Structure 1
């Protein structure tokens, strides 16, 4: 319940400390947690906008009171051309700070913002690296038109390549997460007063870092992670597959027609299509930045390199980014500045059988692991592919080269603002 009003909090997350077992409170603020642990143990209760609470439980029932985070009103909200104190801002907005996303390995910021801002829902429909996410603010606002919010980086609206319900380019993937100072999500109609009809689906305002007073600060951070396929359904091996298929033929009143295949050396073909399509993807990221400020000038310079490998063998991404943020105060009310960003991305993606923003189709590479028979070899004995291009097996097409590669094109944006106090 709320510690001040004593009102129930619906949707609060309740978890036993040290284990993954958790549940959520219902509309009345009640919860039921089934566990094999004996009393006493610690419960951790968290709710957006409230301080996390840890309590020791010696029996049931138990009541947990959460205190609202009151210091959020002292923060600021970046709107369009200025900043406002949160207590003076009448619209609906959520802020995600650099502290909230620090030390979390991700190649793109959209992988980090999910779960950090109320009313913001981000889904990766295909899992392909650098694919545009399904980005919704307060649900779906249009049936036939686009649902992607307007992305504004340092005052410049970013091109997303949006057409209808699909987004061809992911602007947040072009921005190094280490360069981000804060993100403000404007969620209601007040955003359209600044950005017009483009803000009908909300606005994501990204502010990059600046130099701070003092000596030059050098920062280097790096991470390495390993992704592995999880919860894959167990498939039949070649012998089991042939037996089941022949049994089905007999049950249908037909002659059995399936058999194991043997190679010239006498070995039996038994293909595990999971091993053909999947592997453990190793990713790494390196980021170095230089920042500082004098009385009149502040600067922030960063260089980053990231190499990401997906769990599908034909899905990888190589990315290089650089940024220079420079501001110089000429007079008391005149400041000149430049924000220059560079991004070079080369990615290979498997066939998903779908358009950007849609879910995986029937001819996707990952689906082929389910429909291709295990008694068929991947390669002929001469080393050539045994699967013919566009040959139909089960559902969808088997593409011998089910990967495509390409560079992200150049995107230039310019913004000139003259704001007099």
Structure 2
């Protein structure tokens, strides 16, 4: 045999190896040597679902610890499958979430719930309008909330979801009735005009006009009309970004003076088709009732008032004390008229999914909400939204189409019963008689339920559609075009039937009346853009250039009809004896602009951002229609410098600053033109015309100059993250009505006033990761904003009609009041400071005390806690401010009107030192005249600061080994739960007289995903 055959023969070689093992065989050695081969032989399929506690997470990387294999990625449903040995360890990683390591331990199914990693939030991209930017690299001031925060709040308006969550953004509610409005101020008030401080709203890039769509005589129960923003369902929103400083807003030019609100709706995502259903039920109640007099306290007050006035024989109209009404009867009218329960229902369903090239989303929402008033009144909103995205095979072409349609109905009483509930005498008669009919008590009172016969009905339809087409011409150069369309149709009516009146007065249907308001608004917009991005060596450049072309058309018709033949025909104009056209307006607004942005980044730590825009608006006269706006922003990421690279404390540091100009054309259409209207004073049977506005060709833009300096710092791997910003804004060239001499036939002319309003302040935001473990985590977010508003200049203010409204050096949201000096212990009447010492109290000379109703500071404190599948979120909102006290809303103590129990501390005899003056029913007495001055003094201004438990959300996700492929989440949510305040009225936030304040809302729901 050839001596090399042993080595050439494979079998001989293995025989020799086995012979060697047989000489030194031990069981432990065999197990050690054969274990790798057993792991391969025993590998099995491991599968599961990955969620964030509320929904599946797609794109999660799953790998085997210590293995070089590529692993796998979770699909759109959060599902994954991979082969691994029973004793391997899986690693789950995804940007923005904590990496999870999970031993297999022989299991076949492993479901993972990821937790947000607050230390990675700097890498998340945020929407800046025409472009997106990493949180760590933005040079502007942008605040953001996501669907995760919005969906935890039982609210019907997206603005309510923003309260207390954003620094520099102050949102107040104007009514507790569904469909009502909100006031929003982003870094204060810039315009002297109340209607000139609204921000710009964009829904998926499409401008959405927030102008009031109602009419004062038809809105009825809703102060300041119905809110157009209530048409947008909060459940449709993916995120809301607020652009605040010049760097962020200047690219929107004249429309960004008061900030920009970017609303992004939900979109489709890659993965298997996912179905989601959500149902919740809840209720709302008044948060707090006022402490009012009971029957005995009230009657004592009334009798004492008559005695103080020297009246011994009670008048026949004093039904409450002259024996007509029972002196032992008591009704808590607050509970009777506003103590009901508002019921709310939310139904949501969506389907989403798609491939790498095509994604889709289709969602539907239905919301209903009743009122706390007696009767069957309801607000309802139904909406449907669809989105489709396509990317070409070569990744160069992309198309996005989105459309949303909403139909909203508001069937409400025409009058808010809140004021009646507070002023009705506690011994007033019963609401119903023995036959169950409205009780008029022989004509001795006006039954408050009569107001429910009048109705307010509003119906709105809204369509918002947009498409974005983009094409990559060459690498780094992309052309994009956005098309937008909005259509808003609003119809409302208010009926006033004759049954509102006491039957004993004999008013028939001819005294019935009807108001109708029809308001339609359509808008078209086109925005072509060119984007260039290039990176080489240490430099990165991004250039954007584009244009905006928008046209908005509106039509409004307001009718008034009376003299109806029957109340059953009250909604039929043909049944009226007279129909009057209150307004018949058609308007057209055209807007065009060209904008550009250039961003340069050097070594990923030095950033300069330049923006500019040339705007044109049809709201200004010839030669004034165009204006230029621009800004520069810069940032230095000093934590990326070499001398901070080894720091174990500072993990992130950025210093940024910006300066620029924005503008405003929020003045309405045709304000620079001379306009005419019809007059009832005709000539020989012909309708006459009269001038209503003077022509002003010099009518131009308001200008807002903004400066900001900010510091962003992260410590201990961003477990502590602090942002501090200081800003100073100055708004000039104010668009107001400038007073004219009466000899001109006009009181004012619309023009630019050389007045300047300044807003400055400091904003602090703090995020801390208190605990972050596998089963338990706790994060806290805190924000606080200090602000100061000031009228810097106003030429010839003392000689203008605004002299009793504004004071140079003070905020513009002020009231000039008498200075209250207490109750005269000798006479028992209120006293006030006589400023000029002439012995006479006059508004012109003695109203010199300034009451500032701007908040000194405001903010919020939010905590998010998680234990395994249980989540608890709660938010405290706080505001330091002044407001009118309850004394401002009530009539003079002693009249036929209930009062707070606090007025019992009144003057009764000479020498008394009391809070309130003597009771009186005589308006011509010293006490009567003093009371009128009292309500125009700082005596009715009080501390209205508060801390409110704004929102609580508790949710639990059922384990999937119980539910299989079905994900099930149970939750309970609350809004406006507790309020801590020294304020004695019903709600310290509320500044509107006689309307229902925000309600306490509680709801529970179930969410299913499969």
Does the 8 Å CA contact 1:78/1:184 hold for their aligned counterparts?
yes
> Is residue 203 of structure 2 the alignment partner of residue 153 of structure 1?
yes
Cα distance change, pair 261–289 in 1 and its aligned pair in 2 (3 A): farther
> Is residue 393 of structure 2 the alignment partner of residue 317 of structure 1?
no
1:146-189 CA-to-partner distances (Å, cap 9, x unmatched) read 212111010101021259xx975534322222221111100012
SS at match of 2:458: strand
- C-alpha RMSD of the superposition: 3.3
Does the 8 Å CA contact 1:239/1:260 hold for their aligned counterparts?
no
- Equivalent in the alignment of 2:354: 293
- More deviation, 299-308/140-149: 140-149
The one of 382, 395, 399 equivalent to 1:336 is: 399
Does the 8 Å CA contact 1:388/1:399 hold for their aligned counterparts?
no
SS at match of 2:196: coil
Matches within 5 A, 1:340-351: 340-350=403-413
Cα distance change, pair 270–155 in 1 and its aligned pair in 2 (3 A): same
> Is residue 418 of structure 2 the alignment partner of residue 366 of structure 1?
yes
Distance 1:225 1:126 in 2: 19
1:17-57 CA-to-partner distances (Å, cap 9, x unmatched) read xxxxxxxxxxxxxxxxxxxxxxxxxxxxxxxxxxxxxxxxx
Give 1:381 shift. 5.6
1:342-373 CA-to-partner distances (Å, cap 9, x unmatched) read 11111144567xxxxxxxxxxx5311112222
SS at match of 1:228: strand
Give 1:329 shift. 2.2
- More deviation, 99-108/168-177: 168-177
- Equivalent in the alignment of 2:904: none
> Is residue 343 of structure 2 the alignment partner of residue 282 of structure 1?
yes
The one of 201, 206, 215 equivalent to 2:258 is: 201
Distance 1:123 1:96 in 2: 17
The one of 286, 300, 303 equivalent to 2:364 is: 303
> Is residue 192 of structure 2 the alignment partner of residue 143 of structure 1?
yes
SS at match of 2:289: coil
Distance 2:452 2:371 in 1: 19
How many residues are matched?
334
1:315-354 CA-to-partner distances (Å, cap 9, x unmatched) read 63111111111122246232222211111111144567xx
> Is residue 302 of structure 2 the alignment partner of residue 248 of structure 1?
no
SS at match of 2:402: strand
1:206-239 CA-to-partner distances (Å, cap 9, x unmatched) read 1111111111111111222222223212333445
The one of 263, 271, 296 equivalent to 1:214 is: 271
Does the 8 Å CA contact 2:158/2:232 hold for their aligned counterparts?
yes
Does the 8 Å CA contact 2:126/2:133 hold for their aligned counterparts?
yes
Give 1:135 shift. 0.5
Distance 1:215 1:227 in 2: 39
- Equivalent in the alignment of 2:177: 128
1:355-411 CA-to-partner distances (Å, cap 9, x unmatched) read xxxxxxxxx53111122223333345662463999x999xx9x94646522112542
Give 1:191 shift. 4.2
Cα distance change, pair 388–199 in 1 and its aligned pair in 2 (3 A): farther
Matches within 5 A, 1:42-191: 70-144=119-193, 145-162=195-212, 168=225, 170-191=227-248
Cα distance change, pair 313–181 in 1 and its aligned pair in 2 (3 A): same
Cα distance change, pair 110–230 in 1 and its aligned pair in 2 (3 A): same
Cα distance change, pair 417–329 in 1 and its aligned pair in 2 (3 A): farther
Distance 2:160 2:272 in 1: 33
Cα distance change, pair 367–387 in 1 and its aligned pair in 2 (3 A): farther
Does the 8 Å CA contact 1:161/1:167 hold for their aligned counterparts?
no
1:41-93 CA-to-partner distances (Å, cap 9, x unmatched) read xxxxxxxxxxxxxxxxxxxxxxxxxxx96533212221222211122221111
1:98-136 CA-to-partner distances (Å, cap 9, x unmatched) read 222233222221111112221111100232322120111
- Equivalent in the alignment of 1:37: none
- Equivalent in the alignment of 1:60: none
Distance 1:301 1:171 in 2: 23
Cα distance change, pair 403–148 in 1 and its aligned pair in 2 (3 A): farther
Distance 1:392 1:379 in 2: 12
Cα distance change, pair 176–409 in 1 and its aligned pair in 2 (3 A): closer
SS at match of 2:121: helix
Does the 8 Å CA contact 1:186/1:203 hold for their aligned counterparts?
yes
SS at match of 2:336: helix
Distance 1:290 1:156 in 2: 24
Distance 2:459 2:526 in 1: 29
SS at match of 1:80: coil
Distance 1:291 1:184 in 2: 24
Distance 1:403 1:242 in 2: 34
Cα distance change, pair 151–230 in 1 and its aligned pair in 2 (3 A): same
The one of 220, 227, 232 equivalent to 2:284 is: 227
Does the 8 Å CA contact 1:260/1:375 hold for their aligned counterparts?
no
Cα distance change, pair 183–230 in 1 and its aligned pair in 2 (3 A): closer
SS at match of 2:286: coil
Bigger-Rg structure (1/2): 2
SS at match of 1:326: strand
Distance 1:195 1:416 in 2: 14
Distance 2:159 2:441 in 1: 37
Does the 8 Å CA contact 2:285/2:372 hold for their aligned counterparts?
yes
SS at match of 2:349: strand
Cα distance change, pair 301–387 in 1 and its aligned pair in 2 (3 A): farther
Distance 2:408 2:201 in 1: 19
